[in-house]
């Protein structure tokens, strides 16, 4: 692998994402495609929504280019095609709304097709399940991940920052493990660079939001990358890198399910949202999450050799972050 070529493509991905997101912002403003605040929102001013219109195509072209150059597996191409199709569907949802069953149905079909291209599919759970159950569990986890990535995109900078951390983290894991065949190193670098270009516009106070057109396809692509990493035997890094999103979303949605609430409806009950409601600014919350993400990236690398130790430490890191975010909500309630 030519590291010079990869470095140049990574930088190009960042620059193009930065410029294209600015162009999309201008177009969204011109067309008055705005996210109007309501009682469930964490923002107070009408803000353009649809930054994924820049991020997803740029990432798709970057990943396709890496596959064409032989720097990533050709199996990346059909996964990209499905992600672009999801983006088109989600843009319709952003603009007018689609029935819940139609959204979930499209995602489920996308995942069933995508399973054909997950490296090590049938062994994602490291042989703990028979292949048929492994496929079924992988599909359900992927479906959940796609949706939690959408649910968690609720404050300025959070998903852009999380995407960058996961992308660069996956690249570092691939570099340390000396695994050139997976393509995770250049794919992760492109993912992280594109996310940084978007994040420059989405950092608090955000000039535009990602929208479902960005968060759903990103969840799909990142889910594929993490599941392929697990299929290659690196299950601990695949679990650790997105662990904060996994834990916050799962705990919050389980709480809502226990109360028989419609978990697919918008709300402000995630730990990061409660921290914002308690008075902590968007940027301050995201910086805390990014600090935890840096620790998780280090633990993901540790997980290559000591998977269980790294996973336990990662749970401690995420638990501490949730306590830090949640305690502010508790203090505000007591006051």
Q: Note down the domain range covering 202.
A: 3-334
Q: Do 54 and 23 meet the contact criterion of CB atoms below 8 Å apart?
A: yes
Q: What is the pTM of this model?
A: 0.94
Tell me if 150 is assigned to a ligand binding site.
Answer: yes
CA proximity to 282, closest of 63, 45, 1, 4: 45
Total domains in the fold of the chain: 1
Tell me if 232 is assigned to a ligand binding site.
Answer: no
Provide the 10 A C-beta neighbour count for residue 229.
29
Rg (CA), the chain: 19
Tell me: the pLDDT tens digits for 196-246?
Answer: 999 999 999 999 999 999 999 999 999 999 999 999 999 999 999 999 999
CA 206 to chain centre: 18
Tell me: the pLDDT tens digits for 38-48?
Answer: 656 566 678 99
Tell me: the pLDDT tens digits for 262-305?
Answer: 766 666 788 999 999 888 999 999 999 999 999 999 999 999 99
CA proximity to 3, closest of 185, 163, 179, 177: 185
pLDDT value of position 328: 62
Question: DSSP assignment, residue 43?
Answer: -
Tell me: the pLDDT tens digits for 119-135?
Answer: 999 999 999 999 999 99
- Buried b or exposed e, range 149-158, using 16+ CB within 10 angstroms: bbbbbbbbbb
Please state the rounded mean pLDDT for residues 58-83: 95
Torsional class of 264: left (φ above 0), alpha (ψ -120 to 50), beta (otherwise)? alpha
């Amino acid at each position: 692998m030519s590291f010079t070529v990869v470095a140049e493509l990574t930088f190009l991905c960042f620059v193009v994402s930065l410029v294209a997101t600015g162009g999309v912002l201008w177009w969204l403003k011109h067309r008055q495609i705005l996210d109007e605040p309501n009682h469930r929102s964490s923002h107070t001013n009408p803000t353009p929504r649809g930054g994924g219109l820049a991020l997803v195509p740029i990432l798709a072209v970057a990943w396709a280019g890496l596959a064409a150059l032989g720097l990533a597996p050709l199996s990346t191409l059909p996964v990209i095609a499905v992600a672009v199709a999801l983006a088109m569907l989600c843009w319709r949802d952003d603009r007018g709304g689609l029935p819940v069953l139609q959204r979930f149905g499209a995602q489920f079909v996308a995942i069933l097709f995508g399973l054909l291209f997950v490296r090590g599919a049938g062994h994602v759970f490291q042989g703990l399940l028979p292949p048929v159950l492994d496929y079924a569990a992988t599909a359900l986890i992927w479906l959940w991940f796609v949706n939690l990535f959408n649910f968690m995109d609720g404050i300025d900078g959070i998903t852009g920052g999380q995407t960058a951390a996961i992308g660069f983290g996956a690249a570092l894991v691939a570099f340390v493990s000396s695994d050139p065949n997976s393509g995770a190193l250049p794919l992760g670098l492109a993912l992280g660079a594109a996310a940084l270009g978007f994040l420059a516009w989405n950092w608090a106070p955000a000039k535009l939001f990602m929208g479902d057109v960005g968060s759903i396809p990103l969840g799909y692509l990142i889910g594929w990358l993490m599941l392929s990493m697990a299929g290659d035997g690196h299950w601990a890094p695949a679990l650790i890198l997105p662990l904060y999103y996994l834990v916050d979303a799962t705990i919050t949605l389980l709480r809502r399910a226990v109360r028989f609430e419609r978990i697919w409806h918008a709300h402000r009950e995630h730990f990061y949202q409660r921290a914002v409601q308690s008075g902590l600014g968007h940027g301050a919350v995201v910086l805390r999450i990014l600090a935890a993400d840096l620790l998780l990236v280090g633990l993901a690398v540790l997980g290559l050799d000591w998977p269980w130790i790294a996973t336990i430490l990662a749970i401690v890191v995420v638990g501490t972050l949730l306590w830090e975010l949640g305690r502010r909500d508790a203090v505000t309630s007591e006051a």
